[in-house]
Amino acid sequence: MAKLQIEAVELQNRSVLVRLDLNAPLKRGSVDEEPGVADDSRLRAALPTVKRISNAGGIAILMSHLGRPGGTIKNELSLRPIARKLSELLGQPVTFVPALVGETARQAVSDAAPGDVILLENTRFYPGETTNDSELADQLAELADIFVNDAFGTAHRAHASTEGVARRMQTSAMGMLMDKEVNNLSRLLSAPEKPFIGILGGAKVSDKIALIEQLLLRVDFLLIGGAMAYTFLKAQGHEIGNSMVETDFLDMAENLLAAAADRLILPVDHVTSTSFNNDVGSNVSDVDIKPGEMGLDIGPETRKIFREHIFQAHTLVWNGPMGVFEMSNFSAGTLAVASAIAEVTDNGAFTVVGGGDSVAAVRGAGLADRISHVSTGGGAMLEFLEGKILPGIDALSDVNV
Ligand code: ADP
Ligand code: MG
């Protein structure tokens, strides 16, 4: 069984309700101007599916969440500025509708002609969205003939606009971005070309334990940096000073090290500081960190070791920065890893980067175009790679292949 894809659906003269991830950061406008879009990459990622529907003579009825309004109307989280930007990127009008369901939404849909694009209001203005309320899902399902889910970033949540509506429609298909995400991420799970290198970092081990366990089943080496490395180093008996540590996970780290020590590559040195601050200077420490210091980035020798492993890869996945990359004193490790991944991609490796902060680091360094696949999913990508079934995908129509 596979999931129905939008390419296989007749769209002409059909109304198509599309769940997108248009959750783009906004920037404030001048006094009487509405806010603008600070980063339009999520909007650009949504264009292929919208264009396909419009070009095929369907009516594209778009919906998305934006921020966390918590089930109430927050004017500053209206999708109106998103509609304006989307219209600019599409090169055609996008009619903004100040409601998601009900008479206003129904009227807007019935006023639309084939080829038109309309954008409904923030799904999370409605308390029934995140509770997957059946009444809200019913109302959404009444709006259109066909449902398309193209919001990979929320596919791990069973919400009314993702899972609930999909189950209620006769035809629920995967959009083009969702399809691209699933294809690329599946390449990491089924027969990845070896050597396969995994790189994990970021703030917490606890967020990523299931992923560490799953990756260890598949990778040749797993490089661990970021704050999570200190839980492993402490479990090995190293001094970690005031570095971040999750004491509840020391036993688990010890078990993982016992099972896979030769494949888990940990930092051998660090960039440290006496406080979580870019203005008090930084030091380089060997593997044991002095009391009073905290590890905030991988050190120069570790950068070298990590880069050498990365250059061996034919397949690679990276999630989580190697240090506090937001501060210039502690960004070198993350940048070294990002540029090594770009180089190995240039040489033909298949590489995937995901996670909000990791992707921000790659984009900030101008390297996104030199990575095979930059995932639009943070949590969704992690759960996919953990082997979990994502409810937003599971609810789509099955087809025989
Ligand atoms: P992603 O969003 O890519 O999944 P995470 O959210 O897990 O990544 O982690 C990113 C955060 O981890 C960043 O804000 C970064 O500053 C922080 N971080 C990385 N290394 C350290 C460290 N050594 N000490 C404290 N925080 C760290
Ligand atoms: Mg993050």
Per CATH, the number for 2-175 is 3.40.50.1260
Q: What is the mean pLDDT of the chain?
A: 96
3-class SS letters over 382-399:
HHHHCCCCCHHHHCCCEE
Q: Which residue has the higher pLDDT, 33 or 3?
A: 3
364 is catalytic: no
Handedness of CA 254, 258, 264, 265 (dihedral sign): positive
76-102 pLDDT per residue, tens: 999 999 999 999 999 999 999 999 999
Q: What distance in angstroms lies between residue 185's CA and the mean position of ligand 1's atoms?
A: 22
Q: What distance in angstroms lies between residue 249's CA and the mean position of ligand 1's atoms?
A: 17
Tokens encoding 61: 């009825």
* pLDDT band for position 60 (cuts 50, 70, 90): very high
Domain coordinates in residue numbering, the chain = 2-175, 184-385
* 2-175 and 184-385 have identical folds: yes
pLDDT value at position 207? 85
Q: Is residue 202 within 6 Å of ligand 1 at its C-beta? A: yes
Q: Counting ligands in written order, which one lies closest to the CA of residue 381? A: 1
> What are the backbone angles phi and psi of residue 106, rounded to the nearest 5°?
-60, -45
pLDDT value at position 401? 77
355 is catalytic: no
356 is catalytic: yes
Measured CA distances, 28 to 72, 134, 353, 364 (Å): 21, 36, 30, 21
pLDDT value at position 35? 86
In this structure, of 34-48, 106-120, 163-177, the range with the lowest mean pLDDT score is 34-48
Strands 36-37 and 59-63: unpaired
For residue 61, the 8-state DSSP code is E
Q: Which distant-in-sequence residues (6+ apart) come within 8 Å of 376 by Cβ? A: 21, 42, 45, 152, 153, 177, 181
Looking at the DSSP bridge assignments, the partners of residue 297 are: 271
C-alpha closest to that of 377 among 172, 158, 151: 151
Q: Which distant-in-sequence residues (6+ apart) come within 8 Å of 34 by Cβ? A: 80, 81, 84
* H or E element, residue 360: helix 356-364
Tokens encoding 59: 């009516």
Going by alpha carbons, the residue nearest to atom 9 of ligand 1 is 202
* pLDDT of 32 over the 80 cut: no
184-385: CATH topology is Rossmann fold (3.40.50)
Which residue spans within 166-246 are E strands per DSSP?
171-174, 196-200, 221-224
Give CA–CA dist 351/274, Å, rounded: 35
pLDDT value at position 29? 72
42 is catalytic: yes
Q: Which of 228, 289, 324 best tests ligand 1's pocket when mutated (most atoms within 8 Å of CB)? A: 324
Annotate 164-185 with b (16+ C-beta within 10 A) or e (fewer): bbbbbbebbbbbbbbbbbbebb
* pLDDT of 30 over the 80 cut: no
Farthest CA pair distance, the chain: 69
Considering 67, 356, 364, 378, which one is annotated as catalytic?
A: 356
* pLDDT of 185 over the 80 cut: yes
344-383 pLDDT per residue, tens: 999 999 999 999 899 999 999 999 999 999 998 889 999 9
C-alpha closest to that of 144 among 196, 179, 174, 100: 100
* pLDDT of 48 over the 90 cut: yes
Q: What distance in angstroms lies between residue 358's CA and the mean position of ligand 1's atoms?
A: 8
pLDDT value at position 139? 98
Q: Which distant-in-sequence residues (6+ apart) come within 8 Å of 231 by Cβ? A: 205, 245, 246, 249, 250, 253
221-238 pLDDT per residue, tens: 999 999 999 999 999 999
Give CA–CA dist 136/159, Å, rounded: 10
The CA radius of gyration of the chain, in Å to the nearest whole number, is: 23
> Model-level pTM?
0.93
Average pLDDT estimate for 131-157: 97
